[in-house]
Amino acid sequence: MRPFQIKHLVSGGLITNYFCTSRCRHCLYNCGPHWEKHYINRDVAKENFRIVHSLGCRSLHIGGGEPMLRPDALGEMLEVAALSGISIEYVETNSSWFKDIASAVNMLTMLKRKGLRTLLVSISPFHNEYIPFSKVSGTIKACNEAGIHVFPWINDFVKDLTKFNPNETHSIGAFEKIYGKDYLSSVLKRYWIHMGGRALDTFRPVLDQWPYEQILENNQDGCAFELSDTSHFHVDLFSNYIPGLCSGLSIATHDLGKPLSEKKYPVLNTLFRLGVRGIYDLAYQTFKFRPSRSGYINKCDLCTEIRTFLVEKGTLDLAELSPKRFYRDRR
């Protein structure tokens, strides 16, 4: 089988930071206030942009964590992107930083001068557990005043939110009281959520589950397709590339464009060739891993548990299983 190698990049994003004001139940990267307050610096951003550009990708979005928590640093990233020949499609925000229209317009105007054109404004019941909707609507209003295009993600939830006090936050339980017990599962039909990170724990109770033996039986192939998919990749502040949507897996950006060595990337190469069955065998043979749950929603659910187990064992200390915080304090 051909070696695992990322040869060409299609479309992706830059993760400036993993710390966030919120701890959304669906967050693919397990972001939250518990992460160290590290933000990408100019040199790392410049190198990430150079590598991404050299592999054929000319535009990125910026996300986190919450990138707007360091507006000056974000402005610098927008400038570095432009100098590197990378166009920034949009910056994602949860609007937690919003205080009032005047200060928001000031901040957005500063960022517009640096190159901000579009703000993706998150709108969802998960975000509303931490951020009052008045902040979200305030951000949208300020964007309109500052001449920043708004990409609402997603507008369909506005009608759900209008039943609540806009100045308060609301639990998913409060949404279930109004919209019914199946609210959580109904969200999956309205909103794109990738089953990884915190979404696994959130949605496991409302989805079908299978014993690990059946997951292994049904997934005999490697994950070459998922790991090689560069249509929604991310590079981060730690100079890592996250393959596909497989959060918690990392390739050093300077290793992109060449075959990944078996020695440095044993887990990734195993997943690429043999999939979840391969990583299960590796964890069992090395540490006698036994699955802890009676059921798993998919192969990524089992894969995440195995990788968390390998990180907790600690003896392998593999850079490809990072950032380590992803695996700790997941909730």
Binding positions for ligand SF4, 209-228, rule CB under 6 A: 223, 226-227
**CA-closest candidate to residue 297, choices 182, 194, 224:** 194
Total residues contacting ligand SF4 by CB under 6 A comes to 22
CB-based contact 281:302 (threshold 8 Å): no
Count of CA atoms in the C-beta half-sphere (13 A) of 141: 12
Does residue 306 belong to the site contacting ligand SF4 (CB under 6 A)? no
Q: Which amino acid is at 257?
A: G
Rule CB under 6 A: is residue 271 a binding residue for ligand SF4? yes
Measured from the CB of residue 31, what is the shortest distance to ligand SF4 in angstroms? 4
- Is residue 187 at the binding interface for ligand SF4, with CB under 6 A as the rule? no
Q: Which of 27, 121, 184, 321 binds ligand SF4 (CB under 6 A)?
A: 27
We find the least distance from the C-beta atom of residue 224 to ligand SF4, in angstroms, to be 9
DSSP 317: -
- In the block, tokens 């590290």 appear at 38
Stretch that binds ligand SF4, among 50-58, 179-187, 270-278, 312-320 (CB under 6 A): 270-278
Exactly one of 77, 140, 276, 297 binds ligand SF4 (CB under 6 A); that residue is 276
DSSP 149-195: EEEEETGGGHHHHTTS-TTS---HHHHHHHH-TTHHHHHTTTS---S
Note whether 129 binds ligand SF4 by CB under 6 A: no
Q: How far is the CB of 27 from ligand SF4 (least distance, A)?
A: 3
- Of 279, 269, 282, the closest CA to residue 227 belongs to 269
Place of tokens 């490697």: 222
For ligand SF4, the binding residues (CB under 6 A) are 20, 22-24, 27, 31-32, 64-66, 94, 127, 223, 226-227, 246, 271, 275-276, 299-300, 303
